A and B are shown apart, each in its own frame.
Chain A
Amino acid sequence: MPDGFRDDLFEPDRKELGEGPAYRFGLDRREWVAAVGAGLLVTAAGKVAFSAGSDVSEIPPSTRLHLGEDGSITILTGKVEVGQGSRTEVAQAAAEELRVAPAELRVVLADTSVTPNDGSTAGSRTTPSTVPVVRRACAAARELLLRTAAELWGLDPSQLEIQAGAVVKAGERMSYADLAKSSRLTSTRDDSVPRGVPLTKTADWAVLGRSVPKARAREIVTGAHRYPSDIVRPNMLYGCVLRPPSYGAELTSVDLAPATRLGAVAVRDGEFVGFAAKTSHEARNAMTACSKTARWQSGPHPSSEELGTLLKARAQTSGSGRRGPRRRERGDVTAALARGTALARSYEIPYVQHAPMEPRAAVAEWAEGRLTVWTGTQRPFGVRDQLAQAFRLRPEAVRVIVPDTGGGFGGKHTGEVAIEAARLAKAAGRPVSLRWSREEEFAWAYFRPAAAFGVRAALTGNRIQAWDFTAYNPGTAAIETPYDVRNVRTQYFPCDAPLREGSYRGIGATGNNFAREVFMDELAVAAGADPLEFRLENLADERMTDVLRAAADRFGWPGTESFGSGRGTGIAAGFEKGSYIAICAQVRTTGDRVEVERLVSAFECGAILNPRNLEAQVEGCVIQGLGAALTEEIRFEGGRLLNGSFSRYRVPRFRDVPPMDTVLLDRTDIDSAGAGETPIIAVAPALANAVFAATGERLRSLPLRLSRA
């Protein structure tokens, strides 16, 4: 397993699509080495080497850092940038340890031929996993440069300092560029790599912990940045793919002659039918002409109306591993349920779609039996392996490059568009750009799973004595209660699901925390307790207590609205992936309309690395959560989506943003965790609880819909 991908420390959600195997790397590094020139290299495995600038055979795979003889610094990681700020964060981390400004660094992301395999960009792992390995490599390089300068000057390293990209002694400086050229450095061998160099202490941070503007923002505001859908290759064609009219429909026959008559490339390979032409318009015309001749055979497919019962009926009650049920129990839940005041409730969540602004896109190019694909994916190495498998190539013969991409939210883990583009390019003998339409992105990308829940608990006074939580299909993230309960049973059943499912922002935590935090509210009502006080009385986790108190203080909890007055307040909290969220919400209801009047979020993810980016991530995540709470729901019937477009699938817009406050707690004594996912998990329950306070109507499924007209 490559350095930086310590996923043994973290249990991925069951719904995270699996990782591909970690392979050795191809030799396309020649190109990269030619681009960066001669210099010092530190690899992901912590080895040091020197590049003469042309001889790639000397260069170890998975280079983490390159220091050029011209003083240029390049940091490499297999992570991708989808808007969450990884590029900026990696630059900050490297700059901190190398004592330079982040803007002076070049960051190369996600190119399977040159960057280390840092796993998928998922599970909020860039901050806790990749940032530390980048820092360690840069700290080791800094120490090596310091020692080399000390040797050259004949001094002890303790007499020297590093400032602004140079080693300095009284009145003299030796720049990194000077050192990169020094023969003493080039004679360095692996045995002289400094080990265990301490990272810069949080209290001494000069770059981390501060707001650094987004890398490449200038290219974005001028339209110069090339997203995957903007990549253009010489002699390139544009493609499109014929989709089945419904889920599960099988192609029995199609006539491709009409496409050929229009001058387009047409391919049928099993179920795949695709077209490529000089423009997207011509490709679509060819597809339309052929689609009239296509015959399909389709079977029955369930409706979204029956999801709750369907999931329970299709629960996998046997089997093992990811596909089997999971059951954990501590204490004696059955006995404890019988002793206290018991309450039992059921909850449901629907399918939702990520709908990133940039639909899936790929440009594929073949040359001499090797395949290069530019595509927007959160799993560059996984997609490389999918391509290798699909075309029976060695992984080394496939190169996947991920340009900074237009949104992911867990929705771009798979390589279908890359495979389709590569199939078309192979048939055309020319590079092909394939960009899914919005309609395709809604229907044929995978969904955040729909799920059903059954929860039981027993109370003595305000204390929860027993907790019995059963989840059907949401995924396993945040399935265990963070509350302090002695008798706990948690059961998870994967289901034979009607739609294709995968990751999402927070994945399983969205549903698990919705069911739990609404049920906590119901328990508080049953106990006659304030929902905040009830939670605090059942918490032993100080960090969760802190975010709850921080949100409540800023909000002025519980407010002054009387129960059922049409205006109400709700609170919810959650813990997942090393970070804590609490949200207080105020809503006003008019008929069946729910208006969010105010939201206060308190968030804590350890030491803050980039406050402005963190605030933007938390705000964006919370607003995205408003969509899943209030309007987003994929509906389907007869194998077709009923609302697969932005006009029918309502996502948050400017007017939907309520007045918001975001409180960021900076725990400089705790290692930083990721922040892009967890804030979403408290939004829906906080709103459901506020709606209850406003109306007395308890909503137990999403999106929240009041029954009264």
Chain B
Amino acid sequence: MSTDSPAERPLLEVLREDFGLTGTKYGCGEGQCRACTVLIDGRPEPSCLTPVSRAAGASVTTIEGLASGGDLTQVQRAFLEADAAQCGYCTAGMIVEATALLRRNPRPSRSEIVDSMNPHLCRCCGYPNILRAVEMAARPDGDDA
């Protein structure tokens, strides 16, 4: 995708306003809630703090880009199965973060999951079910780490 945009515009706003990719959410504008997390060349980044110029020429993956066709990813399926969304506004950022975590560490321990997810806020405080979802995605067969 391409757009003509001032270099300093937040990537988040370009995704949402220029490309119509509204699955990525604004939550705080200071990288404190991570609702806006996207993958830039595979790394999870807060798109609210990322100037669009940094994404030029890079690969950016948003929540809309995870499922291929109608097939949900393992992480998305786990979030469904664990009933991990209350209002669901933080969910996209959580799923993108968990996806990145499991790509670099397919068998994370519980404390590694907590450490990776901790920058993300869920104000419904649905943390127990979100953790359950990430653990299910990491251990789809239900075996222990």
Contacts and interface: CB of A to CB of B under 8 A. Distances in A.
B91 interface: yes
B80 A616 contact: no
Contacts of A645: 28, 30, 32
B85 A407 contact: no
Interface string B6-18: 1001100100111
A439 to B, nearest CB: 8
A163 interface: no
Contacts of B114: 654-655
A657 interface: yes
Interface in A619-658: 619-624, 627, 645-647, 651-655, 657
Interface in A586-627: 612-613, 616-617, 619-624, 627
A226 B22 contact: yes
Interface string B21-37: 11111111110110100
Contact of B86 (A84, A221, A654, A657): A84
A653 to B, nearest CB: 5
Contacts of A406: 25, 87-89
Contacts of B56: none
Contacts, number: 172
B127 A657 contact: yes
A232 B20 contact: yes
A218 B123 contact: no
6 contacts: A224-B64, A357-B25, A407-B124, A620-B124, A623-B125, A654-B114
A651 B125 CA distance: 9
Given A620-B86, A654-B127, 8 more contacts: A83-B85, A221-B80, A221-B95, A404-B87, A438-B28, A612-B83, A622-B125, A655-B118
A438 B72 CA distance: 31
Given A223-B62, A281-B6, A217 B123 contact: no
Contacts of A621: 125
Q: Interface on chain A toward B: helix, strand, loop, or mixed SS?
A: loop
Contact of B22 (A232, A238, A620, A624): A232
List the 8 shortest-distance A-B pairs measured between CB atoms, nearest first: A223-B23, A83-B87, A406-B89, A223-B63, A623-B125, A220-B88, A230-B22, A646-B32
A270 B33 CA distance: 35
A225 B92 CA distance: 10
Contacts of B76: 221-222
B121 A220 contact: no
A217 B88 contact: yes
B39 interface: no
A77 interface: no
Interface in A435-478: 435, 437-439
Contact of A218 (B10, B13, B80): B80
Nearest to A646: B32
Contacts of A222: 23, 63-64, 66-67, 72, 76
A437 B27 CA distance: 8
B131 A217 contact: no
B57 interface: no
B124 to A, nearest CB: 5
Contacts of B136: none
Contact of B127 (A218, A623, A646): A623
B80 A213 contact: yes
B83 A616 contact: yes
A358 B35 CA distance: 9
B90 interface: yes
B142 interface: no
Contacts of B35: 357
